[in-house]
Structure 1
Amino acid sequence: MKIANNLPIAALVPEILAQLGGSKLVIQAPPGAGKSTYLPLTLLQHSASAKQRILLLQPRRIAAVTIAHYLAQQLGESIGQRVGYHVRGEQRSGPETQLVVLTEGLFVQYLQQDPELSDVAMVLFDEFHERNLASDLGLAMLLEALPLRPDLDVLIMSATLPAETIGNWLGDDAKVLCSEGRQHPIREHYRPPKAGHEWLLHSVQVITEALETASQGVLVFLPGWREIQFLQQRLQLNAEVLPLHRQLPLAAQQAALREQPKGSKKVVLATNIAETSLTIPGIDVVVDSGRERRSLFFPRHGVSRLQTQRISQAAATQRAGRAGRLGPGHCFRLWGQGENQGLRAFDAPALETDDLSGVVLEAKRWGTELAQLSFMSAVNTAHLQVAEQHLRTLGITDSSGQLTPVGQAVAGYGTDPRLARIAVAVATADKHQRGEAALLLAQLEHPPRQPEHFPLSAEQLKGEAKKRWQHWCRQLKVDGTVRQLTTESAVELALWGFADRIAQQRQAQGATYRLAYGGGAQFHHADARRGEPWLVVLTMNFSDVQADAIIGCYLPLSLTDFNHAALSLNWQRELQLTGPKQRFSVVEVQRLGALLVAQRVAQQQPSQAERVQLLVDYVRRHFADAVNWAKAKPLLARLRLAQQHLSAAELEDWPDSSDAALASELEQWAAPFWQGLKSLEELRAWSPTAALLARLSYSQQQQLDELCPKYWTAPSQHQHRIDYCSATPYVALKLQEVFGAPVSPQICRGAVTLTLELLSPAGRPLQRTSDLASFWQNAYQEVKKEMKGRYPKHPWPDDPLQAQATRKTKRFL
């Protein structure tokens, strides 16, 4: 082994080796410690069995390929001998390969195919602090599978996440080890742009300064490829300028990682792909824009949006560390030193921010639900609900959430559910249609940057899009002879995965649309494309200044396209409002989600029972506005409060009074009262109170009155209505009516104290209290002093507890 053993991680190796044999180890080591290079090779050297492999997981393809080549070089071997790699679309390994570097997404597929990992001795999660969906899911699945493989070793390695936090989550059998790392001193320089100046233009000046400071090369961290292209065009430097981002082919990415000839300098313009794992030789200066582009999921649109945001403190530390790998370095930051405290400590895990459709599908394929797996962070429940609905819409799961036969086939592709659904739809189609599908799927994964050119021909595909076309040709068992894709064919294929993205023009010749899932979309004001009444939108962007999505790639639809097998369009009867009194009339409609596709006069008028059912459907759709709930609000408030104070046995027989339950059970409790309703005006005039009360048995009504009575009888012997609609139940009455009452009254078997709003003789609020004893002892004398002169005809005794409660003046007393 050529690799030097003076790396900091070497100090931990004896203890790591001593723990092997079914261990869970958490290793915290900063960049440069050797956890991605020295440690895997050492473990390979001490591997007990040549038949069992070591898996080294990486979050990014370029990191996996680069590290694998580096490790093979250290062994003096070619890639694919003892060290190999496996990334999407490419695998270099053979029968003698013992160490495989692979991406976390592929590791999930390894587990799906062999939960026991029968030919694996050890799994290393590198850069676990990045908390990708695939890394969290892969670890959660592996933890479930460990009882099948008690001898399997699991090493979780992180540069910034506190190791103790991970160790405590893993359990008592996890061992935590920390390496000090090897970091040369880094001098920090803060170069914020002047007020009103564009930071990207300002960065040209800072990069020029950084290159003058550098002895070897400069690494510039930028949010994305657009900023990289912008600077490539504007930088005039005496050095080679090399881009590094995910959209580049692997060969172009690796060009930025090569050594420069002696005496020359280079400037690498990179996204956060260069933050971890990758060691870029010849870098002693970093320029950090302080910005990154992260994928954030928008549940309303069911779309992930790349959003530029400030980096975390952990990322800033990681980036600066790149300047100190080889010797003392410099870090130029495009923000002020005082802004450091405003940066969040860590990046949010993808489980909180990303689209969960893919991992939900993988969990179901694994045989469980995502919420039942063990994760370090809580799953975003809103995103989870959207993902479950999305899979149902695609026919991947049934109404109970179980995988359908189509869903089983979709899950086998291990890719985006929309794309896999299209692939499954053409699995039994003829060779030509499968070829068209391969061409479309590649462009859906890597859409053209100019969406008006969509769809492209095979000759127009470049870079990753061309590679993915070749991949899909292999997946769909075609030879790539289909080179063109007509609009009609693209529509036929796309609707299998994008039926919820069908869009209807809001106004004739307009630029705004409503989509089947309920969201809005529009063309960019500079986009010349206009006028299609129906579209299927395949890609969307977002603007910070409007709620509607910006339409990217799309396909026009004709009404004949609505006969597609993926669309279930049936004629259904609905109530429609007509005339000034909004009378109910019956029409027949075809709906696709939120869109009205077609409408016609009902061919046959419904029976009375059908009419009432249509009314139920209408109220369910417009639940909050269709009925005058204000009239029933006091009763509902009493019911809900009473149910909070019933015993578990009592509560079993009581009807659920939540909005969701009332909406779902309209047929049972409300419909019998609607037999004669003919208009929306009559419906809104109807009070739900009697119908709601009828849901209770006689004994339950008595129990309700006992727990939450309508009235409270004051010491003055007058009854006052209790208001249950506020945050706490209260009674408003004149202060003199509670003379002689030592404490505040209680309801709900003594569990709830009534708030008393004590009024002056003129009915104006004096005091609001739920502690009457404290009021008599403390506040009463001040109130008396202020009110006695204003209302001399009413009693203001010195001792209110001994006085007679009354509504009368002193004269009548």
Structure 2
Amino acid sequence: MTTPQVLPVTALIDDVIRLLPSAPVVLEAPPGAGKSTALPLALMQSELFQQQRILLLQPRRMAALSIAHFLAEQLGEAVGESVGYHIRGEAKFNAQTRLLVVTEGMFTQYIQRDPELLGTGLIIFDEFHERNLATDLGLAMALESASLRDDLRLLIMSATLPAQTIANWLGDAHVLQSEGRQYPINIQYQPVPANQTWLQAMPAVIREAMRLASKGVLVFVPGKREIDQLSAMFEGNSEWLVMPLHRQIPLAQQKQVLDERDTRRRLVISTNIAETSVTIPNIDVVVDSGRERQAQFYPQHGITKLVTSRISKASATQRAGRAGRLGPGHCFRLWAQADEHGLRDYQAPELETADLTSFLLECRRWGSSPEQLKFFSLPNRGNLAQANSVLKALELCNEQGMLTALGHQVADLGTEPRLATLLVRAKTTSATHAATAAWLVAQLEHNVEANQFPLPVERLTQTMRQRYQYWCKQLELTQPRVDASLCSEVLLWGFPDRVAKLRANSDRYLLSNGAGAMLHQQDTRSRDDWLLVLDMTLSEHHRDAIIRTAIPLNNTDLEHPAIIRERRVEVRWQGPQQRLQALEVDAIGAIVLREIPQPDKISSEQRLHALGNYVKAQMRERGLELFQLSPATQQWLARVRLYEKLQQPTEWPSIAIEVLVDSIEQWAEPYWQSIDSLSKLHAWDPLPALQARLTFQQQQQLDEACPAALAIPSGRLVAIDYCAEKPKLSAKLQELFGEPVSPTICNGRQSITIDLLSPAGRLLQRTADLASFWKNAYQHVKKEMKGRYPKHPWPDDPLQAQATHKTKRQLK
């Protein structure tokens, strides 16, 4: 048995054991504190958990393997005895295993099958700050399980998220904080030159890091493409072992990165898979690109796009820390120190950015809606709505949100819902269908090259072959036989909303879910009339999604029972005047196969409903400018806005766009009885409809506070321009004689700006302070204008003169 190291977290072990029985414990511990190694081992050996198993949850398979082997080594045992692990496709543990390291996705399957987790005494959520979907979902379910058992303990550990914030959310948790154990790290900023991209600048920085390193270099880049490009540049150096590291690398190759026996200096080029949890041996220099690839789900397309973005401050700290785990280190950052103030504090949780289909399926399987579970941050509502649509399209849940029998079977398989659906459907059809489904799913799970799909069985990669064999076992196939001619029939069960038809006179496709898609311009595949799209990506340069993986469909495939083909009556705006017309439509979702005009089949209710829907959609973008607003309407709206701003009336009908949109049926539709085209609709003046929203008393209040016009001293009624920057009226200077100060409205809260005009109607002076004008500017204006307009009065004392719009002769 290895003598355990004295790590900072050791000082808190007694506190953790003492506090766990009474409430969850939240431990904040920086990298190197020993929270993933020393603490779980000490808890396993404590009397508190002598009779129960501890589950240690890890976000990544590589971390789970590394920690399990390390802890077993500390005990002088082989992994699988006191300490074991369970990850997808691989497990080593037995009935006597006391500490089981599992990935968070595997934990979801554990707790779904046994909600009380009988035999488990403690669940440790390691690296909670990563905020994966499985992390948040697993903790939400564990909190409910803990309420069923008095002896189920929870320990939440985070390297960056403040423990007190998490504890406040939990409500009754204890907080502990540990010191870290990190050697000094020299941070060196290397901003990318203006004439280079960060990827072009990276090789030179890596070479500088290799000259500086005495042990090894760890390079952080966003994804596989950058890893492959940089690895190719540095391979062939006999003194350096170049090791790429990302999720698509086979597990056996990932394990080699953790092997300390190779004495060569190592250059590990990795995604953020190496950011936390795992200590990669023999690293003393880190090169950080400052970028990561994040999954951003777009519900309108039903696609997850990998977006390259800047990392958070927390991630930058974690990455730099990799250089100081085993001794003093050095970190090169490809940005300027001044740029760090623009980095966000933490990475956005997947609940806000990811596809939530699998997440929602697991919630429903648990027997709850996401709203009924306790989450540290709320799931994205738009992504949830899209997930619900997919589950219903696959017939995995009903209108009430309850899982169907098929839904339960799919959830039990523990893979992506679309793929699980076609596996279950194929199994109930025939053994050949099931084998074909296993063969296809094994490839789709591992991102087979788009132009090679589907690969023959004999050409499957080792990882794909292992998954194919796994699924054959799950489907109870003893002599599997694959039939490639069944591809479309099998795949349609999982992707019924991904049928795509080539648009007329175009090389672009319309999907049955309403999204647009296209093959890349350099894609040499034929543009078939019909496709089943299995994988798409979004590009910053194209409006439509780019089709990666797809198979052609024929007319027979369109009769597949998973495809919902419907006949419906649609009401559309058509023709030059955009008049409403009824059409009988034969369609697959948004793809219209045939349409037949149905004259005289539009009711008044349908017409008003269509008008309302059109106006709601347009007003959200264009506001009331959608209509032909007369000057009187514009003035009335400006008056009401000023009245609302200054008087702040209660029980007043708001003219905010969102309010008007939500109440279209009440205030606007009664005035559309004669409108039967969009051209008439655009010409409609909404003033009478808007005014009718005010009661008689409210209209009087408006007229009193914000009158449309004011009587000026000359006796003339002058309109106030409320559309100006400030309310304004225009009058000849002589008409204001005798008016000592500027007039006001809104009970004196708003003064009127006055445009003082010459007898010819030209602007002489604009003022919001008439008293000041008479006192200071009038004599100068009089001197300039008296000779030009001698027929009009220019008295020495304008305040004592008679206001008039007449000439001196007319006055006599």
Pairwise same-fold verdict (TM > 0.5): yes
Matched residues in 2 for 1:229 and 1:195: separation?
25
Tell me the CA shift for residue 70 of structure 1.
1.7
Indicate the residue corresponding to 2:609 in structure 1: 616
Q: SS of the counterpart of 2:314?
A: helix
Matched ranges for 1:560-639 at <5 A: 560-575=556-571, 580-602=576-598, 605-607=599-601, 610=603, 613=606, 616-617=609-610, 620-621=613-614, 623-624=616-617, 629-631=627-629
Matched residues in 1 for 2:256 and 2:431: separation?
38
Matched residues in 2 for 1:407 and 1:780: separation?
83
Comparing 712-721 with 523-532, greater Cα deviation is found at 712-721
Matched residues in 2 for 1:164 and 1:618: separation?
53
Matched ranges for 1:510-589 at <5 A: 510-575=506-571, 580-589=576-585
Q: SS of the counterpart of 1:538?
A: strand
- Kindly tell me the number of residue pairs found equivalent between the two proteins: 784
Matched residues in 1 for 2:764 and 2:113: separation?
72
Say yes or no: does 1:330 pair with 2:326.
no
- Equivalent pair of 1:520/1:548 in contact (CA under 8 Å): yes
Q: SS of the counterpart of 1:287?
A: strand
1:409-431: CA deviations, max 9, x gaps? Answer: 54444443333443454453222
Matched residues in 2 for 1:300 and 1:502: separation?
15
Comparing 428-437 with 710-719, greater Cα deviation is found at 710-719
Q: Name the larger-Rg structure.
A: 2
Tell me the CA shift for residue 58 of structure 1.
0.8
Indicate the residue corresponding to 1:153 in structure 2: 153
Indicate the residue corresponding to 2:789 in structure 1: none
Matched residues in 2 for 1:692 and 1:201: separation?
60
- Equivalent pair of 1:276/1:318 in contact (CA under 8 Å): yes
- Change in Cα spacing, 1:129 to 1:315, as seen in structure 2 (3 Å) is same
Say yes or no: does 1:702 pair with 2:701.
no
Matched residues in 2 for 1:494 and 1:680: separation?
43
Indicate the residue corresponding to 1:441 in structure 2: 441
User: Counterpart amino acid of 1:243?
Assistant: P
Matched residues in 2 for 1:124 and 1:531: separation?
52
Q: SS of the counterpart of 1:108?
A: helix
- Equivalent pair of 1:440/1:485 in contact (CA under 8 Å): no
Comparing 265-274 with 201-210, greater Cα deviation is found at 201-210
Indicate the residue corresponding to 1:77 in structure 2: 77
Indicate the residue corresponding to 1:273 in structure 2: 273
1:106-148: CA deviations, max 9, x gaps? Answer: 3333343444434322221111221222212322333444433
Matched residues in 2 for 1:407 and 1:764: separation?
76
Indicate the residue corresponding to 1:140 in structure 2: 140
Matched residues in 2 for 1:767 and 1:392: separation?
65
Matched residues in 2 for 1:399 and 1:467: separation?
37
- Equivalent pair of 2:288/2:331 in contact (CA under 8 Å): yes
Tell me the CA shift for residue 542 of structure 1.
3.0
Structure 1 unaligned regions, length at least 5: 770-774
Indicate the residue corresponding to 2:175 in structure 1: 176
Matched residues in 2 for 1:46 and 1:760: separation?
91
Comparing 202-211 with 730-739, greater Cα deviation is found at 730-739
Say yes or no: does 1:493 pair with 2:493.
no
Tell me the CA shift for residue 201 of structure 1.
5.2
Indicate the residue corresponding to 1:348 in structure 2: 348
Indicate the residue corresponding to 1:661 in structure 2: 662
Tell me the CA shift for residue 212 of structure 1.
4.0
Q: SS of the counterpart of 2:147?
A: helix
Tell me the CA shift for residue 783 of structure 1.
7.3
- Equivalent pair of 1:222/1:270 in contact (CA under 8 Å): yes
Matched ranges for 1:349-368 at <5 A: 349-368=349-368
Structure 2 unaligned regions, length at least 5: 787-791
Tell me the CA shift for residue 97 of structure 1.
1.9
Tell me the CA shift for residue 711 of structure 1.
4.8
Matched ranges for 1:305-316 at <5 A: 305-316=305-316
- Change in Cα spacing, 1:782 to 1:37, as seen in structure 2 (3 Å) is farther
Indicate the residue corresponding to 1:772 in structure 2: none
Tell me the CA shift for residue 103 of structure 1.
1.6
Matched residues in 2 for 1:794 and 1:437: separation?
98
Tell me the CA shift for residue 527 of structure 1.
1.0
Tell me the CA shift for residue 808 of structure 1.
8.3
- Equivalent pair of 2:433/2:483 in contact (CA under 8 Å): no
Tell me the CA shift for residue 524 of structure 1.
1.7
Matched residues in 2 for 1:763 and 1:427: separation?
88
Tell me the CA shift for residue 80 of structure 1.
2.7
- Equivalent pair of 2:584/2:595 in contact (CA under 8 Å): yes
Tell me the CA shift for residue 10 of structure 1.
0.9
- Change in Cα spacing, 1:745 to 1:473, as seen in structure 2 (3 Å) is farther
Say yes or no: does 1:225 pair with 2:185.
no
Comparing 209-218 with 124-133, greater Cα deviation is found at 209-218
Matched residues in 2 for 1:798 and 1:366: separation?
87
Say yes or no: does 1:760 pair with 2:753.
no
Comparing 541-550 with 186-195, greater Cα deviation is found at 186-195
Matched residues in 2 for 1:670 and 1:507: separation?
37
Matched residues in 2 for 1:593 and 1:786: separation?
76
Matched residues in 2 for 1:516 and 1:765: separation?
66
1:743-784: CA deviations, max 9, x gaps? Answer: 8433xxx8x966855443459697798xxxxx5787886676
- Change in Cα spacing, 1:59 to 1:581, as seen in structure 2 (3 Å) is closer
Matched residues in 2 for 1:401 and 1:689: separation?
44
Matched residues in 2 for 1:88 and 1:97: separation?
18
Matched residues in 2 for 1:157 and 1:501: separation?
41
- Change in Cα spacing, 1:463 to 1:331, as seen in structure 2 (3 Å) is farther
1:681-719: CA deviations, max 9, x gaps? Answer: 44544556666777x6xxx64254245459546355887
- Change in Cα spacing, 1:703 to 1:790, as seen in structure 2 (3 Å) is farther
Tell me the CA shift for residue 35 of structure 1.
0.8
Tell me the CA shift for residue 586 of structure 1.
3.9
- Equivalent pair of 1:538/1:554 in contact (CA under 8 Å): yes
Name the Cα RMSD after superposition. Answer: 4.3
Matched ranges for 1:79-478 at <5 A: 79-171=79-171, 173-191=172-190, 194-197=193-196, 199-200=198-199, 202-235=201-234, 236-237=236-237, 238-261=239-262, 263-337=263-337, 339-371=339-371, 373-397=373-397, 403=403, 406-426=406-426, 428-449=428-449, 451-478=450-477
User: Counterpart amino acid of 1:493?
Assistant: V
- Change in Cα spacing, 1:272 to 1:759, as seen in structure 2 (3 Å) is same
User: Counterpart amino acid of 2:669?
Assistant: A
Matched residues in 2 for 1:292 and 1:428: separation?
42
Say yes or no: does 1:714 pair with 2:707.
no
Matched residues in 2 for 1:638 and 1:373: separation?
48
Q: SS of the counterpart of 1:67?
A: helix
Q: SS of the counterpart of 1:64?
A: helix
- Equivalent pair of 1:757/1:766 in contact (CA under 8 Å): no
Q: SS of the counterpart of 2:603?
A: helix
Comparing 50-59 with 559-568, greater Cα deviation is found at 559-568
Matched residues in 1 for 2:680 and 2:603: separation?
18
Indicate the residue corresponding to 2:48 in structure 1: 48
- Change in Cα spacing, 1:679 to 1:214, as seen in structure 2 (3 Å) is closer
Tell me the CA shift for residue 195 of structure 1.
4.4
- Equivalent pair of 2:628/2:684 in contact (CA under 8 Å): no
- Equivalent pair of 1:58/1:102 in contact (CA under 8 Å): yes
- Change in Cα spacing, 1:597 to 1:6, as seen in structure 2 (3 Å) is same
TM-score normalised according to structure 2 size: 0.83
- Equivalent pair of 1:755/1:768 in contact (CA under 8 Å): no
1:290-309: CA deviations, max 9, x gaps? Answer: 33222222344232112223
Matched residues in 1 for 2:529 and 2:572: separation?
24
Indicate the residue corresponding to 1:24 in structure 2: 24
1:491-510: CA deviations, max 9, x gaps? Answer: 333333333333332343x4
Matched residues in 2 for 1:26 and 1:796: separation?
84
TM-score normalised according to structure 1 size: 0.83
- Equivalent pair of 1:571/1:588 in contact (CA under 8 Å): yes
Q: SS of the counterpart of 2:326?
A: coil
